[in-house]
Amino acid sequence: MSASLYAGLDSSTQGLTAVVVRVEGRRREVVWRDTVSYDRDLPSYGTRHGVLAHRDPRVVHAPPLMWVEALDQMMARMAAGLGPERSRLAMIGGSAQQHGSVYLNASGLARLAAPDAASPIAAQLEPGFSRHTSPVWMDASTSEDCAEIERALGGPRAAAALTGSRIYERFTGPQIRRFWRTEPDAYDATARVHLVSSFLASLLAGRDAPIEPGDGAGMSLMDLSAGAWSASAVAATAPGLATKLPATAPSATVIGPLSRYWVDRYAFTPDTRVLEWTGDNPASLIGTGLVGEGRVAISLGTSDTIFGAMDAPRVSPDGTGHVFGSPAGAFMGISVFRNGSLARERVRDMFGLDWDGFSRVLRSSPPGNRGGVVLPWFEPEITPVVVRSGWRHRQIDTRDPAAVIRGVVEGQMLAMARHSRWMGVAIEEIRATGGGSANRELLHVMADVFNARVERFDVTNSAALGAALRAMQADTGAAWDDVLPGFVEPIVGGTVEPNPAAADVYARLALEAEAFERAELAHAEQ
């Protein structure tokens, strides 16, 4: 049996990661991986942590051209890294940060199709944008637009029943509405609004790619159960939008062969096909092996997320969390926390520590933080919605690194436990992924707060791995249970069991943290 290679790319907030897997019968291995960091490798765009500074902290954009250039760099590196083996590359899949949108004018749409392999794709595409910066998932500037769309759809519950979520600031629909309201001429000049995922897939395939319903569910424009645009949500968002959206297409849709640009420029083979891209969270669902209901994963990344597969779209009654589509069919439930790794980094830096020092402080301080609680809302928070940022604390000596660092980590884990109850999953095992999952001390707090066993997975970028496995599945037509073994395996010796005494402490602290959060939210509304 001859070997096949599958590539998965993940365009995340801070960089573009690729994972290439090789499959030869039962022999399976990750053969190549690499990351292009936006701040480090593409400094001319002036991003910090992959986004652009703005005088209004609620506005968070990134340059779409930077994503194009990162893709070009990555494909050059991949061609060199795989060498002659790239002739075996059967399919490329991908995922991207969710909700972010890319706005092309008519020339941009045409330019997608036929870039000239003799010069870099970014320069050829540059005149094709009707909006030069793209709002991303960290943007919280659209409260007014959310309220208007929600009202038109009959309120938050009706909006959630239709689309899977109430209307959130970072979702693509309200972002499009704000663009139409504030820059109507540029909106009129827009021929196509892509998600980051469908935009990058379009570049690989050299044609206008469809939107995958798992990722499309993060737009507030899709009828979740149908996996297709909702006429009422589209009409409630902006005039003329229906013609500016790409088509939606089921998750395993192969868009076509790799475009001539990549074949001619980097000697990839024209037989390599491109799979529709999805969002990073739906891809992570696959990359952590959650193809059936019952377990959850926690990803500790720029955003912290807790998610799991769902057989039916049970939306949360209080509007917390979202239901997206799953690339394995059915659905996924997810709660997203904006103050993830950057909040941890912030308190680490507050005391001039490195990650070892951060872990030491966690190890040497008592679970429960002597009753101290932190709500780590350094930046506007998504879950629960907090637009005016500022961290809140109770019984914390803010000069004490142990109290502050433990307070933030416990505050994050307690919030994830509290705001995932709506999914209705009895959590006995958590699959930890994302960069932060390499830190064992964080996993101890996670295991104790959830009173559940935590398993670590080898490839910290579960989204890129999930994207590669989606490509393998689409190419071979294999059942998911046959795709995962050999790739999605817990690290031997990486299991963290809960400590019953600490779990008791957290069961009590959870009630206090919940009451503190309720009081702070009520205070913020006054």
Q: Give the binding site for ligand XUL (CB under 6 A).
A: 12-13, 97-99, 137, 170, 218, 279-281, 303, 305, 336
CB of 449 to ligand XUL, least distance (A): 20
Give the residue with the Cβ less far from ligand XUL, 115 or 164: 164
The CB-of-306 to ligand XUL minimum distance in angstroms stands at 11
Residue whose C-alpha is closest to residue 224's, from 302, 307, 313, 308: 313
Minimum CB separation from ligand XUL for residue 12, in Å?
5
22 vs 31: CA distance, rounded Å? 6
Tokens for 225, please give them: 């159960």
| Closer of 190 and 278 to ligand XUL (Cβ) | 278
Comparing CB distances to ligand XUL, the nearer of 137 and 180 is 137
Nearest approach in angstroms of CB 270 to ligand XUL is 32
Structure tokens at 365: 């301080």
CB 249 within 8 A of CB 185: no
Q: How far is the CB of 10 from ligand XUL (least distance, A)?
A: 9
Residue 155 beta carbon to ligand XUL: minimum distance, rounded to whole angstroms? 21
Residue 345 sits at the vertex; the CA angle it makes with 340 and 349, to the nearest 5 degrees, is: 155
Query: Which residues touch 316 (CB under 8 Å, ≥6 apart)?
Result: 160, 333, 422, 423
CB of 282 vs ligand XUL, minimal distance in Å: 9
Residue type, 259: S
Would you say 285 or 291 has its CB closer to ligand XUL? 285
How far is residue 310 CA from its own chain's centroid?
18
Q: Give 68 or 404: the residue with its C-beta nearer to ligand XUL.
A: 68
Nearer to ligand XUL by C-beta: 279 or 436? 279
Closest CA to 193 of 169, 175, 214: 175
Q: How far apart are CA 308 and CA 286, in angstroms?
A: 10
Q: Smaller CB distance to ligand XUL: residue 139 or 441?
A: 139
CB atoms near residue 25 (< 10 Å): 8
* Smallest distance from ligand XUL to CB 99, Å: 6
- Of the candidates 258, 381, 294, 382, the residue with the CA atom closest to the CA atom of residue 7: 258
Give the nearer residue to ligand XUL in terms of CB position, either 12 or 230.
Answer: 12
C-alpha 373/C-alpha 389 separation (Å) is 17
Measured from the CB atom, is 206 or 466 closer to ligand XUL? Answer: 466
List C-alpha distances in Å: 287 to 27, 71, 308, 431: 18, 21, 12, 10
Name the residue nearer to ligand XUL (CB basis): 12 or 473. Answer: 12
> Which residues are registered as beta bridge partners of 501?
none
Q: How far is the CB of 95 from ligand XUL (least distance, A)?
A: 9
Query: What is the β-pairing status of strands 228-229 and 15-24?
Result: unpaired
CB contact burial 73-111 (16+ within 10 A = b; e otherwise): bbbebbbebbeeebebbbbbbbbbbbbbbbbbbeebbeb
Give SS3 for 101.
strand
- Which CB contacts under 8 angstroms, 24+ apart, belong to 58-61? 58/139, 58/140, 58/141, 58/169, 58/380, 58/387, 59/135, 59/139, 59/141, 60/135, 60/136, 60/138, 60/139, 60/140, 61/133, 61/134, 61/135, 61/136, 61/139
Least CB distance to ligand XUL at residue 147 (A): 20
Minimum gap (Å) between residue 344 Cβ and ligand XUL: 16
Q: Which residue lies nearer to ligand XUL by CB, 12 or 369?
A: 12
Q: Is 238 helix (H, G, I), strand (E, B) or coil?
A: coil
Residue 13 or residue 105: which is nearer to ligand XUL going by CB? 13
Closest separation in Å from C-beta 82 to ligand XUL: 26
By beta-carbon proximity to ligand XUL, the closer residue of 68 and 336 is 336
**To the nearest whole angstrom, how small is the minimum distance from the Cβ of residue 336 to ligand XUL?**
4
Q: What is the DSSP string of 317-379?
A: TTS-SEEEE-TTSSEEEEEEESSSHHHHHHHHHHTT--HHHHHHHHHTS-TTGGG-EEE--SS
**Token output for 256:** 């076509």
